[in-house]
Structure 1
Amino acid sequence: MRLVACLIVALAFFALLEKPIKRHATFFYIGTIIISILSIIAPDKGLPFIIEYLVNNILARGTLAGALFILVMVASVCPAAKLRGLLLRTRGEMAIIAALFTLIHNIVYGQYFFVKLFTNISELNTQRILAAIFSLVMILLLIPLTITSFMTVRRKMNPKKWKSLQKLSYVFYGLLFVHIAMIFSVSILNGYLETLFDLTVYAVIYIVYLVFRAKKYEKQRVVSIVCILAVCAIYAVLAVFGIKASRNHIEEEVAPVLEDASYKDGTYEGSATGYIGKMTVSVTIACGEITEINIVETGDDDEYLIDAKDVIPEIIEKQSLEVDSISGATHSSKGIIKAVGNALESAKGE
């Protein structure tokens, strides 16, 4: 739903501000760069909820940039004449703003995944390796596409050469879907079907776009059909295995720590499934009470763990696992809670 919301907001923004954007595009580019920089240097915690949500879930995760690229992609085949006109008139500015916002996504995630890709690839699973590789290829494609989208550059180019170069954008759009599918596949294959729903939105948009493209451009019909089949195949594979994982994903019922519960002193480990994979924690018991909880191993991203860790002091304070999961990091926080519960099973006295 985040993507749909971003599409609506982006359309409204460009519809209302079309003339100022066309006349003073440079100011909007500068504003985009400033927002990007502020988002990158913003603290992980302590911001107002709405600002934190926009930074982490809309900007850093690339949702807004993806929405803008989709609008640029569908511009030429949009069936609604007025909407098509708006998109065609503003797609150059949209593409540049989308590319600038993409900087946030690549800097936030690249400082970990790109570094690991070249220094310690063994720490990344297959999906993340592929997603990182696709990202690098997309960046290489995006650089010339963005530079030549500026009118000052475009006017100096031969029209035929410019059009030939812009055909690379179709490769970029295809890689964008594959990149998104690879990222989403990590949680889908762990049985989290809400992520499958997010992928469904992208898949439907791409399929509808390709259908309209096949109708409008007869010479490209075969290519469009092949792309439709590719999108359907990727989606079908992830859907089948995701649904299967969801059915096999038995929710572990964790008993709360009761006042009369008896736990042996010591340090115990427990594991459960987090957002992406296995979550292992160590729990220290002293005088029969939980005194310390540490995350030993996890495949979850830092952006989720930062918030998810907030359940740890709650568990220690309440001496109970009856704590609320953290909004925005639901699966990671649930993984911590369940892992602590499994560790406590080992700590139970006779």
Structure 2
Amino acid sequence: MLFILSLFLAVVFVLAGRGFIKKHPHLCYFTAIAFAGAVFAGIASGMVFHLPAWLREWAVPLFSRGAFPTALFVIVMYTGALPNSSRLIRVLMPVRAELSILASLLTLTHNAAYGITYFKRMFLRPELLPPYQLAAGIITIILLCLMLPLTVTSFPSVRRRMNGKRWKSLQRSAYLFYTLLYLHVILLSVPPMMAGRSGYSLTVLAYSVVFIGYGAMRVQKALKVRKLSPVASFVPVASGLVLLLLLGVFILNINLNSVETGSKLLAAADQKEQAVKEKPVSGQVADSRLQQEQESPAGREEVEELSGSQPEEAGESQPAGIFPAPEKNEQSVDGGTAASSEKPAQAQDKSVSENRGPVSNAQTEAKAPGSSNKISRSGRAEEEDTGLKSEKEPAPQVAAEVAAPSEKKSRYRDGAFTGTGKGYVGDITVKVTVKADKITHITITDSSEDEPYFSAAAEITGAMLSAQSAAVDTVSGATYSSEGIIQAVRAALKKAEN
């Protein structure tokens, strides 16, 4: 999309300003140098990050990513491919040299902005670069070696001092320059496209249509100059159309696979989240067990006996605060001393309502021996009193063991959570997978960052997995992109918190 916008702006710029460019070329050159320096200084200092979003996401990348200079080169190369009788060639040819110089000067912004990170890695730590980035860096060096002499010899003062045949021979190296320029873009765009990153399919298709179309037109023009048959001159055009058709099928297949893979991942995440939601917690299991016990005949009889003993217990107990008998005290779930037996029914109801699940079951079992002792006047005290002490003593331990897991609350919920942060170019979206209170995966699902910076910044996910936190340092050379990833992970973890 950025390249298409650059082509439109470049065409408007050339058609509207060709007269001024021809009359004041040196002023245009100095303006281009000053503008390129300002853009580079803003990028190096980080000041561009404080610009409005539309400037940061659309205007600055036109130059920092080399899209606008490349669009000017496209106009320059198509000028040579147009038929000699074309009206458009008479409009563009007079400013062709000036446009090539402007494009070269503006390209230096792109080289400097990326060179401070990737030239350093390429020469000092090449093992840090993926193979395709290393190949693209080598091509960049070759492009610079080709561009500099082509730019210098495009100045009329230099051209006049050169032999015509030698100058023409040197200018033919522009064809190699255009070929390597296309290869450079493809090397940096195809891997992200195959990884399913949005926008790169359109980038690959747009550059391919422009450069393959130029190659077909230029070869066709050369064949016509040699006055070959019309059938022979049509071969380059047909070959270009076949190449574009094959490329279109390839891009379509990649996009379909990406959509299918994304659908599978989303379906798996939904199933996992649904399984987590449907998994019963321990309290619910204990509640169901308690309900089953109460619904059974033995359970109903035990509850009836317990409730029947409470009024008698209330009538014989001492007033609150008068040191109740130790054997009638009960350990509460939170470790404190239970209330006296003045109102045991209320105490039990409160305990059951506030500590559901295993606690309720434990309390029922702890109270049952006590209540049986109270009913000993009916003649059952002697046969149940023998097991009273052994049954009452483990009750606090059971309650403590049940309460222990509830005291340690997990920080995160299990599942996959998404978050968004602001990168250098635009928004960055990540998916963070959490299992058993641990971060297991961090996946960048969408990003507008350019590929070299994106690859460098993406290394930070490994650091966050190791630290089990988003509190890590940014990546040198990709500060704003890595900061956007950190923000996105923080947002995802915020959603995962209990």
Same fold? TM cut 0.5: yes
Letter in 2 for 1:214: V
| Compared CA separation, residues 174 and 227, structure 1 to 2 (3 A) | farther
| Identity among equivalent pairs (%) | 23
| Compared CA separation, residues 200 and 88, structure 1 to 2 (3 A) | same
C-alpha displacement of 1:100: 0.8
Provide the rounded CA distance (Å) in 2 between the counterparts of 1:297 and 1:233.
Answer: 42
Deviation string 1:77-113 (CA, Å, 9 cap, x unpaired) is: 2359332222212111111111111111111111111
Match of 2:183 among 173, 178, 184: 178
Match of 1:71 among 70, 75, 89: 75
Letter in 2 for 1:242: I
Match of 1:247 among 241, 251, 260: 260
Letter in 1 for 2:129: L
Letter in 1 for 2:260: R
Provide the rounded CA distance (Å) in 2 between the counterparts of 1:233 and 1:301.
Answer: 37
Q: In the alignment, is the contact (CA less than 8 A) between 1:185 and 1:238 conserved in 2? A: no
Q: 1:53 maps to what in 2?
A: 57
Q: 1:168 maps to what in 2?
A: 173
| TM-score of the pair, normalised by structure 1 | 0.75
| Compared CA separation, residues 194 and 314, structure 1 to 2 (3 A) | same
Provide the rounded CA distance (Å) in 2 between the counterparts of 1:122 and 1:237.
Answer: 34
SS at match of 1:293: coil
C-alpha displacement of 1:146: 0.5
Provide the rounded CA distance (Å) in 2 between the counterparts of 1:163 and 1:313.
Answer: 58
| 1:118 maps onto 2:123 in alignment | yes
Deviation string 1:289-321 (CA, Å, 9 cap, x unpaired) is: xxx5246899x96564344444355456xx32x
SS at match of 2:102: helix
Provide the rounded CA distance (Å) in 1 between the counterparts of 2:481 and 2:180.
Answer: 25
Q: For this pair of structures, how many residues does the alignment match?
A: 309
Q: 1:11 maps to what in 2?
A: 11
Q: In the alignment, is the contact (CA less than 8 A) between 1:282 and 1:295 conserved in 2? A: no
Provide the rounded CA distance (Å) in 1 between the counterparts of 2:245 and 2:478.
Answer: 27
| Compared CA separation, residues 240 and 194, structure 1 to 2 (3 A) | same
Question: Could you list the runs of 5+ residues in structure 2 that have no partner in the other structure?
Answer: 227-231, 278-408, 413-436, 448-453
| Compared CA separation, residues 17 and 225, structure 1 to 2 (3 A) | closer
Q: 1:105 maps to what in 2?
A: 110
Q: 2:87 maps to what in 1?
A: 82
Provide the rounded CA distance (Å) in 2 between the counterparts of 1:207 and 1:201.
Answer: 10
Deviation string 1:223-272 (CA, Å, 9 cap, x unpaired) is: 968995996599479637734455334444486xx9xxx63488745322
| Compared CA separation, residues 129 and 48, structure 1 to 2 (3 A) | same
| Compared CA separation, residues 151 and 89, structure 1 to 2 (3 A) | same
SS at match of 2:470: strand
Q: In the alignment, is the contact (CA less than 8 A) between 1:267 and 1:283 conserved in 2? A: no
Provide the rounded CA distance (Å) in 2 between the counterparts of 1:112 and 1:126.
Answer: 16
| TM-score of the pair, normalised by structure 2 | 0.54
Provide the rounded CA distance (Å) in 2 between the counterparts of 1:90 and 1:202.
Answer: 24
Match of 2:151 among 143, 146, 152: 146
Letter in 2 for 1:64: F
Provide the rounded CA distance (Å) in 2 between the counterparts of 1:122 and 1:152.
Answer: 44
User: Equivalent residues in 2 for 1:319-338 (5 A)?
Assistant: 319-320=494-495
132-141 or 53-62, which moves further after superposition? 53-62
Deviation string 1:174-231 (CA, Å, 9 cap, x unpaired) is: 0011000001022112122530111101111122222222321115979968995996
C-alpha displacement of 1:163: 0.8
Deviation string 1:61-83 (CA, Å, 9 cap, x unpaired) is: 11001111111111122359332
Q: In the alignment, is the contact (CA less than 8 A) between 1:269 and 1:283 conserved in 2? A: no
| Compared CA separation, residues 297 and 31, structure 1 to 2 (3 A) | closer
Question: Could you list the runs of 5+ residues in structure 1 that have no partner in the other structure?
Answer: 286-291, 321-340
Q: 2:482 maps to what in 1?
A: 305
Match of 1:206 among 192, 196, 211: 211
Provide the rounded CA distance (Å) in 2 between the counterparts of 1:230 and 1:305.
Answer: 41
Provide the rounded CA distance (Å) in 2 between the counterparts of 1:91 and 1:306.
Answer: 42
192-201 or 214-223, which moves further after superposition? 214-223
C-alpha displacement of 1:283: 9.2
103-112 or 72-81, which moves further after superposition? 72-81
SS at match of 2:50: coil
Letter in 1 for 2:30: I
Q: Which has the larger radius of gyration?
A: 2
| 1:272 maps onto 2:276 in alignment | no
